[in-house]
Amino acid sequence: MLFRTELRIPESVHKISHHHKILLLGSCFSQNIGDRLQKYKFKSISNPFGTIFHPVAIAKALKYTIEKKIISEDELLLSQGVYVHPDFHSMLSDVNKAGAGQKINHTIATMHEELKETSYVFITLGTSTGYRLRSTGELVANCHKMPPSMYVKEEVATDEITRQLDHAIRQLREISPDIQIILTVSPVRHIKDGIIENTRSKARLINCIETLVGANSGVSYFPAYEWMMDDLRDYRYYEKDLIHPNESAIDYIWEKFCEHYFDKETTQLTHQISKILTSCGHRPFNASTDNHQQFVQEVTVQIERLLQTHSYLNFEEELKTLRYCFSLSVS
């Protein structure tokens, strides 16, 4: 008997390896995947502008980056004692206006250079519900707990979302013709405004992605939303808030990501890295014992051997910890 509908998709013809640079933008689900890519030593950057849920705000962040826009201090707002920008997360805020501007402009300039060498851009769309700043009429990425009277809440039309994302995609391909863009819909449920409203919002996003994939080469869809909603389809895969996928769900979708985008060589290398990381995570009762010191040396040798054939991998933190553990026996 079958007790679930399992989603299976063909492997991607575009394979991600440890040589590629990967940029992940969008909702917190992009961060979840990005964290795992970084853990397994892929050259990835996750949400350099912070979490962004709305597709128009994501498109705007890309536009700023591609055009290397300079944010002026006049664009900043004072919220609860810190200066913020409505198009960026509070992680780029500062108690000093000049400091906030410098953080934002430095990030834009840095990402402008990173984009030139990026092979994959992974964009996760969260919701079509947006907030428009009354003073400018612009959709924003973050309200920063400012007075609600400053914003107009609205369901942004499918056509506008598609148009803004399409423009950003075309700009990306102008600076990097071979770049691959992976679109997905966040499995996080935005039900604060209602379950029906959330369903309609996700439907708009899926409709937009279908149009974008059909109209642009090098654009594809990764069905994280469908794996969560139709394959797992059980509240035991959610956190206690019944909104966010839990670790088991994220691990499952990560496995699907690996199966879809990794070739045999990348898969084997990722498994080797995973074993080393597991060993590095071992915490003994007594780090100065001979047995543990031998274990530390063995793991160190494993890393050094791997680096002989894969010198581009970064194990600095792990080696630093292992050297510290080894120093305990010497002292």
pLDDT in tens, 167-225: 999 999 999 999 999 999 999 998 888 999 999 999 999 999 999 999 988 999 999 99
Domains, in order of start, for the chain: 21-262 (3.40.50.1110), 271-330 (no CATH)
The 8 Å CB, 24+ separation contacts for 79-86 are: 79/144, 79/145, 79/146, 80/144, 80/145, 84/142, 84/144, 86/133, 86/138, 86/140, 86/141, 86/142, 86/143, 86/144
- Report pLDDT digits (tens) over 48-62: 999 999 999 999 999
Residues in Cβ contact with 182 at an 8 Å cutoff, skipping those fewer than 6 apart: 120, 121, 122, 123, 219, 220, 221, 222
The 8 Å CB, 24+ separation contacts for 77-85 are: 77/144, 77/146, 79/144, 79/145, 79/146, 80/144, 80/145, 84/142, 84/144
Say what the pLDDT of residue 331 is. Answer: 47
Residues in Cβ contact with 121 at an 8 Å cutoff, skipping those fewer than 6 apart: 22, 23, 24, 25, 172, 179, 180, 181, 182
For the record, the structure tokens of 194 come out as: 């209602």
Would you put residue 145 in left (φ > 0), alpha (ψ -120 to 50) or beta?
A: left
Whole-number Å distance between alpha carbons of 89 and 48: 9
- Average pLDDT for 133-143: 93
In this structure, what are the phi and psi dihedrals at residue 288, rounded to the nearest 5 degrees? -95, 0
User: 70-108 as b/e, with b when 16 or more CB fall inside 10 Å?
Assistant: ebeeeebbebeebbbbbbbbbebbbeeeeebbebbbebb
Query: Quick check: helix, strand or coil at residue 130?
Result: strand
Whole-number Å distance between alpha carbons of 120 and 14: 10
Quote the mean pLDDT of the chain. 92
- Average pLDDT for 158-165: 96
User: Is pLDDT of 128 > 60?
Assistant: yes
Q: Which amino acid is at 68?
A: K
Confidence band for 1, pLDDT divided at 50, 70 and 90: confident
User: Is pLDDT of 108 > 90?
Assistant: yes
Strand-pair category, 82-84 with 120-125: unpaired
Whole-number Å distance between alpha carbons of 326 and 72: 51
- Average pLDDT for 73-87: 94
CB atoms within 10 A of CB 327: 12
